[in-house]
A and B are shown apart, each in its own frame.
Chain A
Amino acid sequence: MKKINSIFYLLLIPVLAWLLISIVVPHLDLLFKSFRFENDDGLMVFSFNNYLAFFEDDIYWLTFVKTALYSIAVTLLAFLVTFPVAFYLTKVVAKKYSRFMVLLLLIPIWIGELVTLYGWMILLSDNGVINQFLISSGIIDAPIEMLYTHFSMTIGLLYMSMLFMIIPMMSALDSLDDSLIEAASDLGASKWTIFRQIIIPYTVPGIVSGGIIVFMLVIGDYVAPNILGGKSSLWFTEQIYNQFLSTFNWNEGAAFGFLLLLLSSSIVWLALKLTGQKLDRVGS
């Protein structure tokens, strides 16, 4: 029996070290620091001031609420845009093309957010490809202002997150037996009925795990709101960023960070509860 124990600890100790040093301790520290506040005498004391500041200043909690609602909306949008694609790739297109088409979906993911969103910046600017195309084809006379608006920010958030939704949905759809759809169709069900009663219920696990990944990416994103969004499109991560790297009020920043963590994990928890899923499935 002793042999089994030694190998077990050999595996356990590095994993415990990883989880404790890089996940557990830093996040406990984040919580702890968010309650530290420098009082008038210059001493660090325990206080709720960092959280009070959040509620007292409209811009902070308004940005917070806006970020939450916007992220949910982008997640829904990502579902609407990508579901037909996931369905097409698994059920409609001939198998010999689908592998290549799936490969194309992976390329933007691996290229990375910064480069692809930079591409969107070029596309959407006043001198950009889309405006120049519209002007030269005579549809418009003057460039439409698209960059640094909510529109460009939404495009950016959608673009960098939506592909992460297709893949879990595809793996759910892949295991859906075609004969179920054929049987329903033979029995006279309309497309809409098949879609609502067979396809969607069957794909729910994929939709939920994809949705959670998209939501987390969007709510925690900094690049799209910052390089594509304008001055009006404040994002909560930008507030955290400012507290840390511009005003150097780290304790306030820690409070903001903890609030964001609380918000995102409670929404994820709610989504899992409502649909009866487990976090384990999100990973796979």
Chain B
Amino acid sequence: MIRTLPNSPLYAIGYRIYITFFYLFLLMPLVTICVLAFNDSNFISLPWKGFSLDWFFANSEDRLGLFADDELLLSIWTSFKTGFVVALLSLIIGTIAALLFEQEKFRFKGFLYFLALTPLVIPGVILGISILLTSTFAGTYIEENFAVDVEFLRPSFWLVVFGQFSFATTYVMLLVGARLKKFDHTLKEAALSLRATHLQVIRLIILPFLRPALIGAFIVAFLISFSNFNTTIFLVGSDPTLPVDLYSRIKFSSTPVLNAVSFMIVAFITLSAVISFGLNRKRDL
């Protein structure tokens, strides 16, 4: 049953087969994308027609490769920008929230913490439509009463940033909060009794202590933003992010360039995962 207990061979083999099938199920779509990105064909699927890099580099009438497709490159760039801004904003507010909930005691703390967790259980679609409704209403109101057109209240880059920020902050708060729980409060007390100000304690003691968690939370927030579709679709303006662009291509005009982009994403994520795995292992040894 567990490592230390003996098993019947049938049970052990059966279990191993199940796990193999599970991993097959898990990796099959990723491997398929990676292989078919190099297929010399005009269709996204089989049959295999030979190896080709056309869907990365071609710029001919019937084949527009990834690096020649300006629209696609632009949406990738938009996603990077969005992800960076969202990660930065949510890192700041999320860390502040973690400090507030872990270090301070105040009335209605439980209720506020509950509110801060709600993005975990609000479907992304609902968050998207509520923010769309409210920002549109606010935009119209300001325009009618003050004759000012506030651009970021209409579906646009900044509205997407705002929508993603609203829930990415919760994840940052949880990640940073988990590390903050391990903080030794005597350090803070020692500093305070040596006449450090509270801000100095945060800047010189707590933030350096949180550094690994802050880096991790930034990456998580970036990836959450980079792959978000459900909220983004309602808030996106004339410059789609990569998932929104991919979605409309999958729906209306799928060419194997989709495989090429997907390959790049799979390769990038896998490589970063392997690198972080290697680094962690080195540190453990």
Contacts and interface: CB of A to CB of B under 8 A. Distances in A.
Interface in A100-115: 100-101, 103-108, 110-115
B46 interface: yes
B234 A244 contact: yes
Nearest to B163: A22
A28 to B, nearest CB: 9
The 8 closest A-B pairs by CB, nearest first: A220-B123, A119-B29, A112-B227, A22-B166, A26-B130, A7-B198, A11-B100, A30-B130
Interface residues of A, number: 94
Interface in A1-48: 3-4, 6-8, 11-12, 14-16, 18-19, 22-27, 29-30, 33
B134 A25 contact: yes
B205 to A, nearest CB: 14
Candidate in A6, A23, A216 with the most chain B CB atoms within 10 angstroms: A23
Contacts of B96: 11, 14-15
B262 A118 contact: yes
Interface of A: 3-4, 6-8, 11-12, 14-16, 18-19, 22-27, 29-30, 33, 81, 84-85, 88, 91-94, 99-101, 103-108, 110-123, 125, 127-129, 132, 159, 163, 178, 181-182, 185, 191, 194, 212-213, 216, 219-223, 226-227, 237, 240-241, 244-245, 250, 253-254, 257, 260-261, 264-265, 268, 279-280, 282-284
Contacts of A101: 23
B97 to A, nearest CB: 5
Q: For B113, B115, B246, which residue has the most chain A Cβ atoms within 10 angstroms? A: B115
B265 interface: yes
A181 B258 contact: no
B187 interface: no
Contacts of B277: 99-100, 103
Given A19-B115, A103-B277, A261-B122, 14 more contacts: A11-B99, A22-B165, A23-B118, A26-B127, A30-B133, A84-B15, A107-B30, A118-B29, A119-B262, A182-B4, A220-B125, A261-B126, A283-B174, A284-B174
19 contacts: A7-B199, A14-B96, A22-B165, A22-B166, A33-B133, A88-B19, A99-B281, A111-B266, A112-B265, A113-B229, A115-B265, A118-B246, A163-B26, A220-B123, A227-B247, A257-B126, A260-B125, A279-B114, A282-B120
A243 to B, nearest CB: 9
Given A23-B166, A220-B123, A110 B33 contact: no
B153 interface: no
B22 A29 contact: no
Q: Give the dominant DSSP class at B's interface.
A: helix
Given A264-B123, A279-B117, A111 B227 contact: yes
Contacts of B1: 91, 181, 185, 191, 194
B53 to A, nearest CB: 19
A23 B122 CA distance: 10
B250 interface: yes
A92 B15 contact: yes
A29 B133 contact: yes
Contacts of A265: 121
B15 A254 contact: no
Contact of A282 (B23, B121, B126, B229): B121
B148 interface: no
A85 B265 contact: no
A267 to B, nearest CB: 10
Nearest to B270: A107
Given A19-B115, A128-B46, A212-B121, A119 B243 contact: no
Given A15-B96, A221-B230, A22 B131 contact: yes
Interface string B163-182: 10110011000100010000
Chain A CB within 10 A, most for which of B97, B125, B169, B247: B125
A112 B223 CA distance: 9
Contact of A85 (B19, B250, B262): B19
B213 to A, nearest CB: 14
B28 interface: yes
A93 B47 CA distance: 38
B85 to A, nearest CB: 15
B250 A121 contact: yes
Interface in B18-67: 18-19, 22-23, 25-30, 32-33, 36, 43-47
A254 B129 contact: yes
Contacts of B104: 8, 11-12
